[in-house]
């Protein structure tokens, strides 16, 4: 037994000694590698003179990508143009931070209400070095310059259009140094047109129509570019028309040469006195006096209705336009407002899904619960309008109503709009709104089984049925303006009388 134990001990010592030799054989190579590898890494990395340049190139590439990418607004298809245009980040993907050197420029360009900073001098110089073309003499004959129209497409930037048409980027940077040019070229919309005159890609002149009257004009001078705003003459013409309804209101308007937009506005003027869906009869007639805007012998668009008359079932309704306190409205010839202080339906609805009912069973709670308003079913996102002039006294979430807006009107009247999907961004607590102004959008927040607007009308805190309550009239012409009102509207009524006389004479000649 002792001999056996000694054999085991001898074998253990032999195996243990062999293991120590094996460990000792492996320990030295690992120790040497630990010393040599850091030294080799320093020599290899430090010996590459292009390492820093590669990092700089990467940074420059990221900056150039940021300068070329368009900014797309979530709620409007605006395209921000210019040398500094960040890309709107994808909510799913992860984006890397922009270089610190261009962060202020990107922040300025992202806000369309803030003027973007002038182009970076280094970018201008780099573009000029890349192009390396002889400078264009200012006194060259610009008649030889090629003319080009840049039409803005969705997602376009000024730089992208210049690259697409091989125009000088250095000239683009130079003209954006001008504050006025940068202000009017920093926001582009699809369909906008920028006219360019160039010689072999070098910009001679650039222009952009800002509206029907104003034009931005940029031209080259000795110091670069200068800009100016010129105005074109627009002629306003007064047009009269008269029509008799044979089949429909719009067919009668088209037969008389009245644009559909004017016919639609005409119906809007008399909507409180005439039901254009049910009350129109064959033989009804209308006369209208409206404006047309012309420029260089071309009609641009129609303007405002100045006066109108509608005869429905033998009853005559008249309206004239009158401006006061920088605000225009329509009144009867006696100075009474044509509109009511409130509109019945503050949303374009598909159907009334629930009426005013104090004994209604709630569709979600399944209990008898008074329904003190009207539900107008409409698709999600349908605009909701203020029923009357007023002030926002509540905007937020209110229990089962979900997203809610409450307006305070005159005469201790309040209106409530509930279950909105979202609020209009300009409508906040304390904001004053006008009748017909969009305050939010249809949704189904709160306790709702489908998208709709829940609308309530309250007088001194007491709920009234919005469909049957007697709506108060809007304010007439104030006493301080009545003398001017009669003086300024008399010529408009004379126009209306002449239009009616001409229409009657034409009808008599045609035998109708």
pLDDT digits (tens, 9 = 90+) for 42-97: 444 444 434 333 444 443 444 343 333 333 333 443 333 333 333 333 333 333 33
pTM reported for the whole predicted model: 0.54
Distance CA 253, CA 241 (A): 9
The pLDDT of residue 222 is: 82
Between 124 and 220, where is the model more confident?
220
The pLDDT of residue 119 is: 53
Question: Residue 171 has which token pair?
Answer: 């000239």
Mean pLDDT of the 420-436 span: 95
What Cα–Cα distance (Å) separates residue 371 from each residue in 141, 160, 349? 77, 57, 19
105-148 pLDDT, tens per residue? 333 333 333 344 555 555 555 555 555 444 554 444 445 678 88
DSSP annotation of 133 reads -
Neighbouring C-beta atoms of residue 325, cutoff 10 Å: 7
**Euclidean distance between the first and the last CA atom of the chain, given in angstroms as a whole number:** 141
Q: What's phi and psi for 144, nearest 5 deg? A: -85, -5
Binned at pLDDT 50, 70 and 90, residue 500 comes out as: confident
Question: Residue 86 has which token pair?
Answer: 């960040």
Q: Mean pLDDT score of the chain, rounded to an integer?
A: 75
Could you give the domains of the chain?
64-85+117-133+144-231 (3.10.450.350), 234-340+475-512 (3.10.450.350), 351-464 (2.70.70.10)
Between 128 and 447, where is the model more confident?
447
Residues in the chain: 512
Partners of residue 196 on adjacent β-strands: 148, 206
- SS3 of residue 476 by DSSP: coil
- SS3 of residue 240 by DSSP: strand
| Contact by Cβ (8 Å): 359, 370 | yes
| Contact by Cβ (8 Å): 343, 388 | yes
191-218 pLDDT, tens per residue? 889 999 998 888 899 999 888 888 999 9
401-423 pLDDT, tens per residue? 999 999 999 879 999 999 999 99
- Answer left, alpha or beta for residue 402, where phi above 0 means left and psi between -120 and 50 means alpha: left
């Amino acid at each position: 037994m002792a001999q056996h134990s000694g054999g085991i001990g001898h074998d253990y010592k032999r195996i243990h000694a062999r293991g120590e030799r094996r460990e000792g054989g492996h320990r030295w190579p690992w120790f040497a590698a630990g010393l040599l590898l850091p030294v080799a890494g320093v020599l290899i990395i430090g010996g590459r003179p292009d390492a820093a340049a590669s990092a700089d190139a990467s940074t420059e590439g990221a900056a150039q990508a940021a300068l070329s990418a368009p900014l797309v607004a979530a709620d409007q298809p605006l395209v921000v143009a210019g040398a500094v245009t960040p890309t709107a980040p994808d909510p799913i993907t992860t984006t890397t931070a922009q270089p610190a050197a261009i962060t202020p420029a990107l922040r300025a360009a992202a806000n369309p209400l803030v003027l973007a900073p002038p182009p970076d001098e280094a970018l201008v110089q780099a573009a000029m070095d890349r192009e390396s073309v002889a400078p264009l003499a200012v006194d060259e004959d610009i008649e030889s310059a090629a003319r080009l129209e840049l039409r803005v497409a969705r997602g376009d930037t000024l730089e992208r259009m210049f690259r697409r048409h091989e125009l000088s980027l250095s000239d683009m940077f130079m003209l954006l140094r001008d504050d006025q040019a940068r202000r009017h070229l920093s926001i582009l919309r699809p369909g906008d047109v920028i006219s360019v005159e160039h010689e072999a890609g070098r910009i001679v002149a650039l222009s952009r129509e800002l509206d029907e009257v104003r034009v931005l004009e940029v031209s080259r001078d000795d110091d670069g570019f200068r800009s100016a705003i010129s105005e074109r003459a627009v002629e306003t013409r007064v047009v009269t028309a008269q029509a008799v309804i044979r089949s429909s209101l719009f067919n009668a308007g088209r037969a008389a040469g009245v644009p559909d937009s004017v016919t639609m506005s005409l119906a809007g003027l008399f909507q409180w006195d005439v039901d254009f869906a049910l009350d129109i009869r064959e033989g009804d007639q209308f006369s209208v006096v409206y404006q047309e805007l012309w420029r260089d012998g071309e009609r641009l668009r129609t303007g405002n209705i100045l006066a109108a008359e509608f005869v429905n079932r033998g009853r005559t309704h008249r309206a004239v336009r009158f401006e006061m306190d920088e605000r225009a409205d329509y009144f009867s010839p006696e100075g009474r407002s044509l509109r009511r202080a409130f509109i019945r339906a503050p949303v374009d609805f598909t159907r009334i899904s629930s009426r005013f009912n104090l004994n209604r069973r709630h569709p979600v709670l399944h209990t008898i619960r008074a329904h003190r308003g009207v539900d107008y079913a409409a698709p999600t996102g349908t605009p909701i309008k203020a029923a009357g002039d007023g002030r926002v006294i509540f905007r937020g979430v209110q229990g089962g109503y979900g997203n809610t807006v409450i307006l305070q009107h005159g005469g201790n009247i309040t209106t409530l709009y509930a279950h909105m999907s979202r609020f209009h961004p300009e409508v906040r607590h304390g904001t004053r709104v006008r009748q017909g102004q969009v305050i939010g959008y249809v949704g189904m927040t709160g306790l709702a089984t489908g998208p709709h607007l829940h609308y309530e009308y309250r007088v001194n805190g007491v709920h009234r049925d919005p469909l049957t309550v007697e709506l108060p009239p809007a304010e007439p012409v104030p006493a301080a303006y009545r003398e001017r009102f009669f003086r300024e509207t008399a010529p408009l009524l004379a126009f209306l009388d002449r239009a009616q006389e001409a229409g009657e004479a034409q009808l008599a000649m045609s035998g109708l």
